[in-house]
Amino acid sequence: MRQRLMVLAFFLLVGIGAASQYAQAANLTVNCDKKETIHKAVKLLTATNPQGPNTIVVSGGCKADLVIRGMDRLTLITKTGASITDRSNGMLAVVDIEDSHSVNVQGFTINGVVQCGAASVCYLTGNTIKAGGIVVGGGSRAFLESNVIQDGGSSTVSDGSQMFSSNDIFQGNRQGVVLGSGIYFVATNSSFLNNGIGIVAAASNLLFHGGTISGSIGNGMTILGGSTVIFRDGTTVTGNGGAGQVGDQPPADHNPSCTSKTSSATSP
């Protein structure tokens, strides 16, 4: 009996020690100019402490198609303006976050696509994303703050996912944001400037708190298939080449410019 208790106590202590090890925060540094890679740092943390919290501080110019899968409470941050550039010639996302929660990517110049998929929760803060965009799918939620997304194709939200954008700038893209069916999109003081089309939505719910949609080559907004749009706090849709906001067919008396304190529209 006494021996059994000693064995039980031993395994209990081992279990507590392992739990304590995995609960500790890890802080790693990566300098891509010294041939270090974010991929190796992520691989190490995935194997040793996937639940986090973990922080990887990055410097230099990195070339990567990075996959973050099955990780929680991970922060990728740069204090020196590091860059991450696609090495797949557009075949893969530069940063691909899958089945992960509370992953924060902060302060980078990212040349290519950032993807948030498989029911992930992603935070993008203070990044400049060029020649790509943001792709949110698989029931994921993306929280954007103070990013610039420019010179790409489109940022897309699909498969019942959600995007929350605050103080972001979407500029010079083929389409600023494209929203598929069952999407929830909230923009607070974000700007959609000089895109081909500012926003395209089908069967989605959109809420705007302030911000501007302006300078589009085509429509400022194309709203299709039963979407609902609510404008609050002085949202401005103006100076676009096509219509300001339209349903399946723009009404004959449509004014391509509008400024609204609180209003709503539902497409047919």
Q: Does any domain span residue 192?
A: yes
Report whether 177 contacts 197 (CB < 8 A): no
pLDDT tens per residue, range 18-62: 444 445 789 999 999 999 999 999 999 999 999 999 999 999 999
Q: How many distinct structural domains can be found in the chain?
A: 1
pLDDT tens per residue, range 251-260: 322 333 444 4
Range of the domain at 159: 63-266
- Mean pLDDT for 171-190 is 97
Which DSSP helix (H) or strand (E) runs through 63? Answer: strand 61-63
Q: Rounded to the nearest 5 degrees, what angle is found at the Cα of 105, between the Cα atoms of 102 and 106?
A: 125
Q: Does any domain span residue 48?
A: no
Report whether 163 contacts 137 (CB < 8 A): no
> Average pLDDT of the chain?
86
Q: Does any domain span residue 205?
A: yes
Q: Does any domain span residue 152?
A: yes
Q: Does any domain span residue 150?
A: yes
Q: Rounded to the nearest 5 degrees, what angle is found at the Cα of 267, between the Cα atoms of 266 and 268?
A: 120
Q: Does any domain span residue 136?
A: yes
Report whether 98 contacts 65 (CB < 8 A): no
Q: Does any domain span residue 100?
A: yes
pLDDT tens per residue, range 87-110: 998 899 999 999 999 999 999 999
Q: Are strands 148-150 and 169-171 parallel, antiparallel or unpaired?
A: parallel
**pTM, whole model, 2 decimals?**
0.85
